[in-house]
């Protein structure tokens, strides 16, 4: 090919990619968004990347589109290959079964949703870093998938993230011609690097720790570099040369005699980090005849460079791959090899495996090169769309591209992945799956806590974390499997529709109980299914036996929970997921029952499993898991954290009494016009009259002696309320004043209440006098109010009130459900053990952070003329759970992981140290709850033992509501707390 023809192809190709690549059209953001950031149309997203609509696992032969693609691809590649190359089209070769059916896609471990496209990814030991179209770097925790930090890193799209090999520096490059270096832990900017040339978008960046030099590949086809070794020797930057201050060759140009309208200057402020201006001499002009899209730092890949030296590999828009020898002290880089000079198709991504290099290109092509011999070994037709990103890990090649599909390929394997299979038989697509609804633009791989994770980011504004631990040849130990099993077990547990209130789900409840019993038995428990009367759902009994030599001498522990859940109808599509298919989103696990009560059960179970594996279970642990709790106390809400941040221990729950009050007439339903008169006693009116007497001014219950037995407020209890109020107001001053907040909490937790829930009448709608009227009421009782006494008082009060009506109707009262109130002792051994475990596990907790972002603002009611502007009542407005959680909902962001909190945010009064040198957290808040758990007081009486309640969920977890959820970190830390308590409590 002539040089002139080659240059024309390269330039045309570069122009084409200026619009295709992320952020290239930096002066035309609208066109860029249309080209790259909007998800593809329904026509394109319905295809699986091979031309088949969502049928990646079908066994039918390839359709016409794929055959045409294969033919065109092969012809196009043959003309550019040598005799030594081998061409493979593996778009449809799927290994796994004889029929060619693909294996199941890997498990989606978690889904992270953002508000703009994900263009770049990097992953470290603790965090996932994402560069976005909005110029932000977003950081999530690998441990809990919670949002750690979000910073405005650049004024334009972040095109590249590069984490140094030692994990000490994170580099970002962007469409604003800037490269920033950050501390990967707190994302404090360390360096702000720019070139005095108009390099355009900086597509790629790499850093060599060996040479202490950062390299950047740019839109102007250059590679530049600057040393970070000796700041004193660098000339002082001239900020007039900064890209934000330079005139633009096009937008700031004027015709002779014309004027220019000044462009608004970016509001960027470099308030931290060292400003570094790249010397003009430190540039390799025309490093490629096209944009420098990607770079890698490798070692030992070519004989032309010493094996212990870092080597820079770059891929450009001209289709070439170049190998560069690096030098100390800002000496020029030296090209030692150039591959693919006859191609001119842009290199979009690269991955290295030993001396083999894989490069991805347009229209589904992946090329395999031997860097040592500089030969192209294979041209692989891998995808239908462009292959945007490659990763090499665990003996497999992972690719993803513009169709939203990701793929896994077997390769020639080295070291522990090496097999006896021949070279020619190792390139197969062994798995493919729809990973995103948009173009996949970035990927990363890592191993964390025994899990092999493949991470993808796309222009559907999301990051997906795929657990591929079962998809590779690497084996894992028992401890790794146990660590990974908690989420999987909970996901399966949630899938059972154990709705106890609906007879049509009776079999689902039985299957859920059987699953739970089988899981207990799998981990060594003695199990039994305890059947109840009237064919109600069974109780799952499981007993883990402790060390025979010590168990008899130690206390035994009983864990109570329930596996039944409330209904989760989704007719109005309020759930963001299928409520019975648990999914992780932004640090939370969503699904019915995940918080109430299946998640806490799994946390407790695996806390015991940990002790069994560690051979430290010294006492018997008995689980008693019932399946009728939700039906036995309708309307009940479990106890949760007071807000979304500070762990709590619940030491008190209100009791409850549910009753139905009925009034019936001797007459059938009659028409109010034809038969209605003052002589007709109307059941609904009589019912309303007697219920209205139950409450007086300020909602005070009028039953005689109702408040007489309530325990007085002690100084110790008041001190707990003061502690709670202080923490809440310090975190959110809008909750004040303190006395009002304190009174509101006390009214919910230590004062009784009466509620009318609903009315029911006979007959159809219309102008009728109903022959029957009934109302469902409930009373929430507090400790020392005996339920039987309240039943007698309520029945007598309503009967006496009814007698004063002199009516012909009949009154009847039925008691539907009842439960004693419960009050624990925060000073006993079980609470003190829980307190110590919480302080050790949660560690320091900042008092100034808010965990939740407010949800959508409620619609404002339009004030009609003449209506009152405020309520005449002078009572303070109650503080509800919604207010305490700052109005958070399923769109809220998870809390900042505790390990990311700077040390100076910890309150000095809570800066205690544990015996092992780790920093301990503040004491948990001791709270009481307004809800009821019928079984707690019964179990205390039955076994003559004190009970304690450990809330695992938060106030915003929406138990019993749409989008019920549980924070991932709460689940894991709950497991650790249970492990500590099960180990330490029997010793006291």
254: left (phi over 0), alpha (psi -120 to 50) or beta: beta
Whether residue 245 has pLDDT greater than 80: no
Instruction: Tell how strand 274-278 and strand 189-195 pair up.
Output: parallel
Please report the pLDDT score of residue 84 as a whole number: 42
Residues, the chain, total? Answer: 988
Report whether 342 contacts 1 (CB < 8 A): yes
64 preceded by a cis bond (ω within 30 of 0): no
Question: 277-287 b/e with 16+ CB inside 10 Å = b?
Answer: bbbeebbbeeb
Q: How far is CA 153 from CA 112, 133, 171, 175, 311, in A?
A: 19, 11, 11, 11, 28
Interacting residues of 41 by C-beta distance below 8 A, sequence separation 6+: none
Residue with tokens 């990701």: 406
Whether residue 21 has pLDDT greater than 60: no
578: left (phi over 0), alpha (psi -120 to 50) or beta: beta
Instruction: Choose the most confident range, by mean pLDDT, from 354-363, 469-478, 897-906.
Output: 354-363
Q: How far is CA 151 from CA 287, 585, 735, in A?
A: 32, 21, 28
SS3 988: coil
Instruction: Tell how strand 822-823 and strand 648-653 pair up.
Output: antiparallel
Which residues are bridge partners to 205 per DSSP? 216
Residue with tokens 């066109």: 31
User: What confidence tens digit (pLDDT) does each residue in 650-704 have?
Assistant: 888 899 999 999 999 999 998 888 888 898 999 999 999 999 999 999 999 999 9
Please report the pLDDT score of residue 885 as a whole number: 59
At 410, is the pLDDT very low, low, confident or very high (cuts 50, 70, 90)?
A: confident
**How far, in Å, CA of 548 to CA of 526, rounded?**
15
How many helices and strands, by DSSP H and E, does the chain display? 16, 48
**Mean pLDDT of all residues belonging to the chain:** 79
Whether residue 100 has pLDDT greater than 70: no
Instruction: Tell how strand 375-381 and strand 387-393 pair up.
Output: unpaired
**How far, in Å, CA of 891 to CA of 216, rounded?**
37
User: What confidence tens digit (pLDDT) does each residue in 696-714 have?
Assistant: 999 999 999 999 999 999 9
At 112, is the pLDDT very low, low, confident or very high (cuts 50, 70, 90)?
A: very high
User: What confidence tens digit (pLDDT) does each residue in 774-805 have?
Assistant: 999 999 999 999 999 999 999 999 999 999 99
Element (H, E) at 3: helix 3-20
Which residues are bridge partners to 433 per DSSP? 406
Which residues are bridge partners to 275 per DSSP? 192
Please report the pLDDT score of residue 888 as a whole number: 55
At 7, is the pLDDT very low, low, confident or very high (cuts 50, 70, 90)?
A: very low
Q: Whole-prediction pTM value?
A: 0.76
Please report the pLDDT score of residue 531 as a whole number: 80
Angle CA 979–983–984, to nearest 5: 120
**How far, in Å, CA of 166 to CA of 986, rounded?**
44
Report whether 851 contacts 644 (CB < 8 A): yes
Whether residue 92 has pLDDT greater than 70: no
**How far, in Å, CA of 312 to CA of 301, rounded?**
10
Whether residue 632 has pLDDT greater than 60: no
Which of 197, 267, 186 shows the shortest CA–CA distance to 226? Answer: 197
**How far, in Å, CA of 516 to CA of 579, rounded?**
19
Please report the pLDDT score of residue 609 as a whole number: 95
Whether residue 22 has pLDDT greater than 50: no
Whether residue 178 has pLDDT greater than 80: yes
Please report the pLDDT score of residue 961 as a whole number: 86
User: What confidence tens digit (pLDDT) does each residue in 263-304 have?
Assistant: 555 555 666 889 999 988 999 999 999 999 999 999 988 888
User: What confidence tens digit (pLDDT) does each residue in 127-176 have?
Assistant: 999 999 999 999 999 999 999 999 999 999 999 999 999 999 999 999 99
Task: Report DSSP state, residue 598.
Answer: I
- Side-chain half-sphere exposure of 241, counting CA atoms within 13 A: 16
DSSP one-letter string for 342-364: TT-----EEEEETTEEEEE-GGG
Please report the pLDDT score of residue 62 as a whole number: 32
Interacting residues of 713 by C-beta distance below 8 A, sequence separation 6+: 746, 750
Whether residue 249 has pLDDT greater than 80: no
Structure tokens at 27: 């002066």
**Mean local confidence (pLDDT), 445-457:** 94
**Mean local confidence (pLDDT), 806-816:** 95
SS3 447: strand
Task: Report DSSP state, residue 714.
Answer: P
User: What confidence tens digit (pLDDT) does each residue in 856-911 have?
Assistant: 334 444 445 554 555 556 667 777 766 665 555 555 555 444 344 443 332 333 33
374: left (phi over 0), alpha (psi -120 to 50) or beta: left
Which residues are bridge partners to 193 per DSSP? 179, 276
Which of 662, 647, 630, 643 shows the shortest CA–CA distance to 501? Answer: 630
Whether residue 947 has pLDDT greater than 80: yes
Report whether 138 contacts 161 (CB < 8 A): no
Least trusted range by pLDDT, from 318-322, 588-592, 928-932: 928-932
Structure tokens at 939: 């179990």
**How far, in Å, CA of 842 to CA of 977, rounded?**
9
Please report the pLDDT score of residue 32 as a whole number: 34
Say how far residue 768 (Cα) sits from the centre of its chain: 53
Please report the pLDDT score of residue 108 as a whole number: 93
Q: How far is CA 69 from CA 64, 65, 682, in A?
A: 8, 6, 80
Structure tokens at 325: 């020898």
Q: Is the dihedral of CA 684, 687, 690, 691 positive or negative?
A: negative
**How far, in Å, CA of 208 to CA of 214, rounded?**
6
Q: Directed axis angle between helix 683-692 and helix 787-803, to 10°?
A: 120
Whether residue 329 has pLDDT greater than 70: yes
Interacting residues of 509 by C-beta distance below 8 A, sequence separation 6+: 496, 498, 499, 500, 537, 563, 564, 627
Please report the pLDDT score of residue 638 as a whole number: 37
Residue with tokens 């090209």: 335
Say how far residue 594 (Cα) sits from the centre of its chain: 14
Q: Higher confidence at residue 418 or residue 953?
A: 953
User: What confidence tens digit (pLDDT) does each residue in 582-624 have?
Assistant: 999 999 999 999 999 999 999 999 999 999 999 999 999 999 9
Whether residue 731 has pLDDT greater than 90: no
SS3 433: strand
**How far, in Å, CA of 783 to CA of 928, rounded?**
11
**How far, in Å, CA of 833 to CA of 856, rounded?**
40
Interacting residues of 347 by C-beta distance below 8 A, sequence separation 6+: 293, 294, 315, 316, 317, 319, 320, 321, 340, 359, 360, 361
Please report the pLDDT score of residue 906 as a whole number: 28
DSSP one-letter string for 31-71: HHIIIIISPPPHHHHTB-SSSSBT-TT--SPP-HHHHHHHH
**Mean local confidence (pLDDT), 344-369:** 92
Which of 823, 831, 961 shows the shortest CA–CA distance to 885? Answer: 961
Residue with tokens 């509001």: 267
Structure tokens at 247: 């005139």
């Amino acid at each position: 090919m002539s040089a002139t023809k080659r240059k024309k192809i390269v330039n045309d190709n570069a122009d084409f990619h200026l619009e295709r690549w992320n952020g290239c059209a930096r002066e035309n953001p609208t066109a860029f968004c249309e080209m790259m950031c909007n998800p593809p149309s329904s026509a394109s997203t319905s295809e699986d990347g091979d031309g088949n609509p969502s049928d990646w696992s079908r066994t039918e032969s390839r359709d016409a589109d794929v055959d045409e693609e294969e033919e065109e691809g092969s012809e196009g590649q043959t003309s550019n290959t040598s005799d030594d190359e081998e061409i493979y089209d593996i778009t449809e070769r799927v290994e796994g079964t004889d029929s060619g059916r693909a294996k199941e896609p890997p498990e989606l471990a978690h889904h992270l949703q953002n508000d703009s496209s994900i263009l770049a990814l990097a992953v470290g030991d603790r965090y996932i870093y994402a560069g976005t179209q909005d110029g932000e770097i977003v950081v999530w925790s690998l441990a809990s998938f919670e949002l750690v930090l979000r910073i405005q890193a650049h004024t334009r799209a972040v095109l590249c993230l590069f984490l140094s090999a030692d994990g000490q520096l994170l580099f970002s490059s962007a469409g604003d011609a800037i490269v920033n270096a950050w501390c990967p832990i707190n994302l404090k900017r360390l360096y702000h690097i720019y070139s005095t040339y108009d390099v355009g978008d900086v597509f790629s960046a790499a850093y060599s720790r060996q040479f202490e030099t950062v390299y950047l590949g740019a839109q102007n086809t250059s590679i530049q570099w600057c040393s970070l070794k000796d700041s004193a020797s660098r000339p002082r930057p001239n900020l007039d040369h900064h890209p934000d201050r330079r005139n633009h060759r096009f937008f700031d140009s004027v015709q002779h005699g014309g004027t220019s309208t000044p462009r608004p200057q970016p509001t960027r402020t470099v308030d931290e980090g060292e400003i570094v201006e790249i010397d003009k001499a430190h540039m390799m002009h025309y490093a490629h005849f096209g944009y420098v899209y990607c770079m890698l730092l490798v070692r030992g890949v070519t004989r032309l460079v010493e094996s212990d030296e870092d080597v820079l590999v770059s891929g450009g828009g001209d289709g070439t791959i170049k190998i560069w020898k690096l030098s100390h002290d800002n000496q020029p880089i030296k090209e030692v090899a150039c591959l693919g000079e006859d191609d001119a198709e842009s290199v979009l991504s690269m991955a290295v495996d030993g001396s083999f290099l894989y490069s991805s290109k347009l229209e589904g092509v992946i090329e395999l090169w031997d860097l040592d011999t500089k030969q192209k070994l294979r041209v692989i037709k891998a995808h239908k769309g462009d292959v945007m990103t490659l990763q090499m890990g665990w003996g497999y090649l992972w690719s993803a591209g513009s169709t939203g599909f990701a793929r896994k390929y077997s390769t020639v394997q080295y070291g522990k992945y090496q097999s006896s299979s021949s070279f020619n038989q190792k390139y197969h697509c062994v798995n493919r799956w729809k990973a995103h609804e948009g173009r996949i633009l970035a990927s990363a791989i890592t191993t964390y806590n025994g899990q092999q994770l493949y991470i993808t980011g796309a222009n559907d504004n999301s990051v997906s974390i795929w657990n591929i631990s079962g998809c590779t040849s690497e084996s894992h130990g028992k401890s790794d499997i146990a660590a990974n099993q908690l989420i999987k077990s909970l996901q399966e547990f949630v899938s059972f529709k154990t709705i106890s209130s609906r007879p049509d789900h009776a079999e689902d409840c039985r299957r859920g109980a059987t699953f739970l019993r089988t899981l207990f038995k799998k981990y060594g428990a003695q199990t039994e299914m305890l059947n109840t009367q009237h064919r109600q759902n069974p109780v799952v009994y499981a007993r883990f036996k402790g060390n025979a030599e010590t168990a008899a001498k130690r206390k035994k522990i009983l864990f109570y929970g329930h596996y039944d859940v409330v209904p989760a109808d989704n007719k109005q599509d309020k759930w963001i997921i299928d409520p019975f298919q648990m999914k992780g989103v932004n640090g939370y696990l969503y699904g019915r029952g995940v918080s109430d009560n299946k998640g806490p059960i799994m946390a407790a179970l695996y806390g015991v499993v940990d002790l069994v594996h560690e051979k430290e279970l010294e006492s018997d642990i008995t689980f008693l898991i019932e399946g009728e709790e939700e039906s036995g106390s309708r309307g009940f809400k479990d106890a949760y954290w007071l807000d979304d941040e500070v762990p709590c221990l619940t030491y008190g729950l209100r009791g409850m009494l549910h009753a139905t009050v009925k009034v019936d007439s001797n007459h059938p339903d009659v028409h109010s016009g034809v038969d209605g008169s003052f002589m007709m006693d109307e059941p609904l009116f009589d019912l309303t009259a007697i219920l209205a007497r139950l409450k007086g001014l300020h909602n005070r219950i009028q039953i005689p002696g109702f408040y007489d037995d309530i325990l007085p407020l002690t100084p110790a209890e008041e001190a707990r309320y003061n502690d709670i109020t202080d923490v809440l107001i310090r975190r959110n001053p809008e909750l004040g004043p303190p006395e009002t907040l304190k009174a509101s909490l006390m009214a919910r937790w230590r004062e009784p209440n009466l509620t009318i829930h609903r009315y029911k009448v006979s007959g159809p709608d219309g102008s009728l006098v109903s022959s029957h009227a009934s109302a469902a009421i409930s009373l929430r009782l507090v400790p020392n109010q005996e339920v039987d006494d309240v039943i007698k008082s309520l029945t007598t009060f309503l009967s006496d009130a009814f007698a004063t009506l002199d009516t012909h109707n009949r009154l009847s009262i039925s008691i539907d459900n009842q439960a004693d109130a419960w009050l624990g002792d925060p000073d006993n051994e079980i609470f003190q053990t829980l307190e110590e475990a919480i302080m050790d596990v949660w560690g320091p907790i900042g008092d100034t952070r808010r965990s939740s972002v407010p949800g959508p603002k409620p619609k404002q009611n339009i004030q009609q003329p003449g209506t009152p502007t405020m309520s005449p009542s002078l009572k303070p407005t109650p503080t509800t759970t919604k207010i305490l959680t700052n109005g958070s909902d399923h769109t809220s962001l998870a809390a900042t992981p505790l390990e990311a909190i700077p040390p100076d945010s910890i309150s000095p009064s809570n800066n205690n140290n544990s015996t092992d040198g780790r920093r301990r957290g503040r004491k948990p808040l001791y709270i009481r709850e307004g809800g009821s758990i019928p079984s707690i007081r019964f179990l205390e009486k039955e076994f003559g033992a004190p009970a304690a309640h450990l809330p695992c969920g938060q106030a915003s977890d929406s138990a019993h509501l749409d989008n019920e959820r549980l924070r991932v970190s709460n689940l894991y830390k709950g497991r650790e707390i249970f492990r500590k308590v099960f180990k330490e409590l029997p010793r006291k």
